[in-house]
Structure 1
């Protein structure tokens, strides 16, 4: 299968590192003109530099905006008013006991993880619908189905994305615009590596040992028994953004290594 996204413009939020950058690179490798978005100019520039060797690298461009609020989303829209592909990847997480999660924590995680996607999708879906073609994705998590006790607010926000994705797919039924959620599992991003390194130091083990311990203690149902790479997650996202995925919509697409104990 050859995926060709030449002539398509793709916006990837939270794309200066981790899964977002891997998705941006995968889309650019397929020929898309990718818009990288982040809060810091230096990180946006560095991300663009990594795309230069891709098929669509010369077309890649960046926008500096904080999408945690309405003003930042509007800044991105003003800079890039049209898109064929929207990947709502931006997200935050943090370990916190449920009884210590304040209202401000809930508000922050919903503003970043959910409402950023709502605001951007509300804008870009209209023109996609008018053109009769588009792809919208929400990067959810297996934590949407297995709500982690150590960060309930994160899991709830990712579950909200499941409902948002399905509802928007229904609103766009028959339009040629597909909407799907992507469910990664533990993925070896910069943030995850730092998280594991800190735990390894606290427990006096190597990072490799800590990664295995984390999975054994927190995600024992994993079938691949390792963290996925950002590129493995991106591969699914690129397919879902392709013309070949035209009959896939309203779906929760799992790339979580078999953690979820379900055959559906």
Structure 2
């Protein structure tokens, strides 16, 4: 099983780090890519960490050339958010968000597809966000970049037909990330409520379409990635929604 090679972007922390570690647990040989310097990333058994900044235009080609072997699975999990500025988003911030969230995952996938051996099947799972369905003045830039990613992913899938590859999307709702959980704990303590009750109230107020009372856990995300990878060519073009209904009834 050790001859299965996976590449995970955004692997220096959060969901990307978790997915890389879980793939290694299941005997994948994993390369994890992240913006953080290597000495700031705790070593994970079975995961080779590469520092690479997807905010830089040259990164897709450079990263593809650094890989020792063509992957059987690629999980795009890197994400960037615009800096909060009183005057509103600056153009360089917007360009960086679009490069990390949409343009460079697209270009990296194109480059990996071009380098893939013809007889090597590869699954590309692109992690996206339910934010594409709604946005406010605070989230509009991030949501727009994720909407661009969704359209680019659909184009990649169309190009992978009969090409020994599949490109699918895992669309996620509210995640149980560390920062969010810490904030919930603070609110729960301040209001003398159980954390689960604070989560329930937050989810019901933040999005009326949600039909879940808990954040989406990382392990459920991993099982969804594994499911898409195991589907093989059938997953090409597939949209797997793990969003708690946040995208609405008819979408």
- Contact 2:82–2:89 at 8 Å: present in 1 too? no
**Residue by residue, what CA displacement relative to the aligned partner does 1:6-64 show, whole Å, maximum 9, x if unpaired?**
422111011122211222123223321110112221343x1x32xx2xxxx3xx31111
Matched, 1:177 2:165: yes
The match for 1:27 is: 23
Gaps of at least 5 residues in structure 1 are: none
SS of the counterpart of 2:245?
coil
- Contact 1:143–1:158 at 8 Å: present in 2 too? yes
Matched, 1:262 2:249: yes
Matched, 1:42 2:30: no
1:15 is aligned, of 4, 11, 27, to: 11
Matched, 1:65 2:65: no
Deviation at 1:159, TM superposition (A): 0.9
Structure 1 CA distance for aligned equivalents of residues 222 and 86 of structure 2: 31
SS of the counterpart of 2:175?
coil
The 5-angstrom pairing of residues 211-226 of structure 1 reads 211-226=199-214
Structure 1 CA distance for aligned equivalents of residues 224 and 129 of structure 2: 14
Higher helix share: 1
The match for 1:192 is: 180
SS of the counterpart of 2:134?
coil
Taking structure 1 as reference, are residues 79 and 95 closer, same or farther at Cα in structure 2, changes over 3 Å only?
closer
The 5-angstrom pairing of residues 1-264 of structure 1 reads 6-38=2-34, 39-44=36-41, 46=42, 48-49=43-44, 52=45, 57=46, 60-80=47-67, 82-93=70-81, 100-128=88-116, 130-194=118-182, 196=184, 200=187, 204-205=190-191, 208=195, 210-242=198-230, 244-263=231-250
Taking structure 1 as reference, are residues 35 and 180 closer, same or farther at Cα in structure 2, changes over 3 Å only?
same
Structure 1 CA distance for aligned equivalents of residues 53 and 185 of structure 2: 28
**Residue by residue, what CA displacement relative to the aligned partner does 1:179-208 show, whole Å, maximum 9, x if unpaired?**
01111111111243355567x39x944682
Taking structure 1 as reference, are residues 257 and 143 closer, same or farther at Cα in structure 2, changes over 3 Å only?
same
CA RMSD of aligned residues (A): 2.7
- Contact 1:40–1:64 at 8 Å: present in 2 too? yes
SS of the counterpart of 1:35?
strand
What is the TM-score of this pair, normalised by structure 1? 0.82
Structure 1 CA distance for aligned equivalents of residues 156 and 78 of structure 2: 18
Structure 1 CA distance for aligned equivalents of residues 179 and 118 of structure 2: 38
Deviation larger for 127-136 or 220-229:
127-136
What is the TM-score of this pair, normalised by structure 2? 0.86
Structure 1 CA distance for aligned equivalents of residues 60 and 77 of structure 2: 13
Gaps of at least 5 residues in structure 2 are: none
Deviation at 1:222, TM superposition (A): 1.5
